[in-house]
Amino acid sequence: MSLGILGTKEGMTQLFDPDTRKAVPVTVIHAEPNIVLKQHTQDSDGYSSVQVAYGDVKAANLNRPDMGQFNKAATDSGDAISPRRHLREFRLDEDPSDDLAVGAQVTVSLFEDVKFVDVAGTSKGKGTQGVMKLHNFRGFVRTHGTHEFFRHGGAIGTRLTPGHVLKGKKMPARMGNERVTVQNLRVHSIDTERNLLLVVGAIPGARGGLVEVRPATKK
Partner 1 sequence: MSKIIQQLEAEGMADARVPKFRAGETVRVRVRIKEGAKERIQVFEGVIISWKNAGLRSTMTVRKVSYGVGVERIFPIYSPAIERIEWVRRGRVRRAKLYYLRDLRGKKARLTEDHRAVAPTAS
- Chain contacts with partner 1 (rule: CB under 8 A): 10-16, 18, 21-23, 28, 30, 194, 196, 207
Q: Shortest Cβ distance from residue 34 to partner 1 (Å)?
A: 18
**The sheet that has 49-56: what strands, in order across it?**
84-91, 49-56, 34-40, 105-106
- Taking the complex as a whole, the smallest distance from the CB of residue 10 to partner 1 amounts, in Å, to 5
In which region does residue 134 sit, left (phi positive, over 0), alpha (psi from -120 to 50) or beta (all else)? alpha
* Residue nearer to partner 1 on the CB measure, 14 or 44: 14
CB of 193 to partner 1, least distance (A): 12
Cis check for the bond before 25: say yes or no (omega within 30 of 0). Answer: no
- Is the Cβ of residue 32 or residue 36 nearer to partner 1 in the bound state? 32
User: Residue 87 or residue 185: which is nearer to partner 1 going by CB?
Assistant: 185
* CB 187 to partner 1: min, Å: 15
Q: In 47-102, which residue ranges form alpha helices assigned H by DSSP?
A: 64-77
Helices (H), the chain: 42-45, 64-77, 131-135
Q: What share of the chain is helix, strand, coil (3-state, %, to 5)?
A: 15, 35, 45
DSSP 125: P
**The dihedral sign for the CA sequence 35, 219, 11, 132:** negative
Q: Closest separation between CB of residue 117 and partner 1, Å? A: 19
Q: Which is nearer to partner 1, 22 or 164 (CB)?
A: 22
Q: Which is nearer to partner 1, 14 or 161 (CB)?
A: 14
Which one, 75 or 189, has the nearer CB to partner 1?
189
Q: How far is the CB of 119 from partner 1 (least distance, A)?
A: 17
23's torsion region: left (phi>0), alpha (psi -120 to 50) or beta? beta
